[in-house]
Amino acid sequence: MIRKVQMAVIGGGPAGLSAAVAAASQGVTVEIFDDNFIPGGQLIKQTHKFFGAKQHLCGTRGMDIAQILLDRCTQHNVIINQQATVTGVYANTLGVLYPDKFEEVEFKSLVVATGASENMIRFVNNELPGIYGAGAIQTLMNVFGIRPAQNVLMVGSGNIGLIVSYQLKQAEVEVECIVEALPQVGGYQVHASKIQRMGIPILTNHTIIRAEGNEQEGVTGAIISEIDKDFRPVPGTEKYLSVDTICLAVGLTPLADLLEQCGCKMTTISELGGRVAVHNHYMQTSRPDVFLAGDVSGIEEAVTATLEGQLAGLAAAKYMNIGNPLIIQNKMNEILIQLNEFRDGPFGEKATYGSQRLLKEYSYE
Amino acid sequence: MRIKKHPILEFPVKKKIEFYFEDKKLEARDGESIAAALIANNIRIFRFSEKKQRPRGLYCAVGKCASCLMEVDGKPNIMTCITPVKQGMKVKRQKGRGDLI
């Protein structure tokens, strides 16, 4: 038998939880499907305080934001299904795989908030155990309290690379150095300065070309090299580092495959991280019953994910004619202003450019 | 290795449980993933690849990359990064695609 829900949300991170709360507050019955066994998405590993204005829960640590959003879900009777992997979308039905069963769930509206996956770069032996995505390192340290390494090579000096380097030091792990392929540091200067004050060198125009290791221990070292302006290694500049772990912080790609399967119109925008579903201001895709929010709509961060989630949840309620349309419209207008204010700050330039390109494509329809 | 002291995080002592890795009894904490429990025990080779039998371990820790697949209680291809470890669980390194029977 097919179970029926008014609104299904795929993903229990900042965007999905916010969408669920926003819709439920208008009287929509909502169920979230999340593949992990702990809800909160990437928030639960974020020990740093967020930038921005107080109204966006800034100044609060990510992991505390997760708890605030989960409490709001409970208040609004949002059902959160854990270890519930959505394996496909078939017309108006989700296929959901649990550890012990498979079920079909029919929805009137759907919010896809699947987030993003960590990028991988090409170098010799790049799949050796001991090479982790930055998110994995954060999970081990900040969620489970496990020291994942003795000494680390960090690849990538974007904000994630810088923040995770700092968090590694907090867990008393040595960071040998950070290599950055571009001629300048990718993340904010405030983070970079903090890292340099800790004595961690940031080598620009450098990359990893080889991981060393064996079948018993995994990674035992790394070879880095200077690269020229065309990103080719400069012979003779190779350097061996004795590290037991390599952390890759080289960007994220939206997890948009379920949206593609929904039949949503897709496009590729590099500023947003790759393939994304075309959508309007209210996070509605080309399929009117399907909405999206968070990193899946373009790589940004948790504050914009929560705002986009609220928009998607409200827009889905409006689409289903649930709640007061005037109140919903006013709320959506307010959130849009907040979103634009946040992106107008020093942090949103790239995302603003990306989403403008996307809206242009939407308006061509 | 577990973090003993941390400037901003506290890790309340959780219930200790026992599980088996390659028939060896190991200690884990209630509420952590299988992958986390293994890494806490300094084990990071989780499986061997199909074609060249190369070692693989945890990579993304969010159920997206399939690098951490292991055989758990006789079932292959379990994503150990998003599966909680349980008392008495039997975890084995997976070879290739694993045995489905």
Residue A316 contacts by C-beta under 8 Å, 6 or more apart in sequence? A7, A19, A23, A28, A109, A110, A111, A291
Report the top-level CATH class of A120-248.
alpha beta
Give the best residue of A98, A100, A137, A146 to mutate against chain B (max B CB count within 10 A).
A146
Q: Which helix (H) or strand (E) holds B10?
A: none
Query: B5 lies in a domain?
Result: no
Confidence (pLDDT) at B98 = 85
Confidence (pLDDT) at A353 = 73
pLDDT at A122 over 70: yes
Query: B42 lies in a domain?
Result: yes
Query: Please, which residues 22-81 of chain B have a Cβ atom closer than 8 Å to chain A?
Result: 29, 32-33, 36, 39-40, 44-46, 49, 54-65, 67, 81
> What strand order describes the sheet that includes A202-204?
A131-133, A245-248, A151-155, A174-180, A202-204
**Strand intervals (E) in chain B:** 16-21, 24-29, 47-48, 55-56, 69-72, 75-79, 90-92, 94-95
Taking the domains of chain A in order of start, what are their residue ranges?
3-117+252-363, 120-248
Query: B20 lies in a domain?
Result: yes
Q: What single-letter amino acid sits at A15? A: A
Report the residue of chain A nearest B59, measured CA to CA.
A132
pTM summary value: 0.93
In chain B, how many domains are there? Answer: 1
Lowest mean pLDDT among A14-23, A154-163, B1-10, B80-89: B1-10
Nearest CA to CA, how far is B73 from chain A (Å)?
A: 13
Q: Which fold has domain A3-117+252-363?
A: FAD/NAD(P)-binding domain (3.50.50)
Query: B100 lies in a domain?
Result: no
Give the 3-state secondary structure of residue A217. coil
B3 contacts A172? CB cut-off 8 A: yes
Confidence (pLDDT) at A49 = 75
How far CA A80 is from CA of A33, A98, A145, A343, in Å, comes to 6, 13, 25, 30
Query: B76 lies in a domain?
Result: yes
Q: What single-letter amino acid sits at A65? A: I
What residue has token string 């699947």? Answer: A114
pLDDT at A360 over 80: no
pLDDT at B94 over 80: yes
Q: How do A102-112 and A3-10 pair as beta strands? A: parallel
Q: For A38, how many CA atoms within 13 A lie in the half-sphere containing its CB?
A: 23
Instruction: Show the CA angle centred on residue A186, arms to residues A240 and A156, nearest 5°.
Output: 30
Query: B57 lies in a domain?
Result: yes
Q: What is the ipTM of this complex?
A: 0.95
Is residue A269 within 8 A of residue A298, CB to CB? The reply is yes
CATH number of the domain enclosing B46: 3.10.20.440
Confidence (pLDDT) at A131 = 97
Query: B7 lies in a domain?
Result: no
Query: B87 lies in a domain?
Result: yes
Residue B58 structural domain: 16-93
